[in-house]
Amino acid sequence: MLDYQLLKNHAGILLVGDYHSLIELHEVVHDVNERSPLIPQEDGPFLGLAYDVRKAYEQQREILQPPEGYEEMGVRYGVEILWPVLLVQHRMLRVSLGYLDHSRRHQAITYSLEAVIEAALREDFGAQGQAMVDHWLRIDPTADIFEKLDSRGAMFCSWSKAERAGRLASLLLSFDFMYDRYSTPANGPHTPESISPRELKRWEGVEWPDPNW
């Protein structure tokens, strides 16, 4: 089964799974990547989820030994994934299934990942956890989602722990294709948590800083 551990500084999670669960997720992501009409680039950021998962079960990332006295749990494997990246990747996976013939196998691993993300968001952000979940589930992956991830990921990596806690909700809202129209005007009043289109523009094409995770 899939599980998680929180990374420091609200950066994201260590996605954890046994060998067979990670293999299952890897295969489903590859299948969806090949067949989804929502994915314009077969070797793009969505496929990065399969790459990360493969690196985990190939023992090239984190290896988690079972706790003493619980050897029956077996060895598990993990990979670190940033919040904006994982949330967007999952939404592409989840919504793509609505456009494809798929099996309960696809649904099982997709919902398992969804359950892990929801639990992790609630734990990581406490009282704001439900708002994070709501904003994440409203992300529409049909609207040039991975092009938008470039600037938003760079911005997120530059933030401190406090900024991530205060501004991730606004960052998720900014994936909406109407965001430029209803967000706070660039030259108008704003709160420290809000993100203006002008600020997003400044992060386009910028190399992602060290996320300190």
What's this model's pTM, rounded to 2 decimal places? 0.93
Q: Two tokens at 39?
A: 């994915």
The alpha carbon dihedral of 140, 142, 143, 145 has a sign of positive
The predicted model gives 9-23 an average pLDDT of 98
Task: Please report whether residue 212 resides in a domain.
Answer: no
Task: Please report whether residue 79 resides in a domain.
Answer: yes
- For the chain, how are helix, strand and coil distributed in percent, rounded to 5? 55, 10, 35
Residue environment code for 112-125, b if the CB has 16+ CB neighbours within 10 A, otherwise e: bbbebbbebbeebb
Q: What percent of the chain stands above pLDDT 90?
A: 83
Return all residues near 113 (Cβ < 8 A) that are at least 6 apart. Answer: 2, 15, 25, 90, 93
What residue type is assigned to position 157 of the chain?
C
Task: Please report whether residue 64 resides in a domain.
Answer: yes
Task: Please report whether residue 146 resides in a domain.
Answer: no
Residue corresponding to tokens 């998962």: 53
Q: Return the DSSP state at 195.
A: -
Domain that holds residue 45: 2-126
Number of domains, the chain: 1
Task: Please report whether residue 208 resides in a domain.
Answer: no
The predicted model gives 89-115 an average pLDDT of 97
Report how far apart, in Å, the C-alpha atoms of 202 and of each of 155, 170, 198, 207 are. 9, 16, 7, 12
pLDDT at residue 156, rounded to an integer = 98
Task: Please report whether residue 115 resides in a domain.
Answer: yes
3-state secondary structure of 80: strand
For 41-68, what is each residue's pLDDT tens digit? 888 999 999 999 999 999 999 999 998 8
Euclidean distance between CA atoms 80 and 7, whole angstroms: 8
Task: Please report whether residue 157 resides in a domain.
Answer: no
Phi, psi (degrees; rounded to nearest 5) at 195: -125, 120
Residue corresponding to tokens 């910028």: 206
Q: In the structure, what pLDDT confidence band is assigned to residue 184 with cuts at 50, 70 and 90?
A: low
pLDDT at residue 178, rounded to an integer = 79
Task: Please report whether residue 168 resides in a domain.
Answer: no
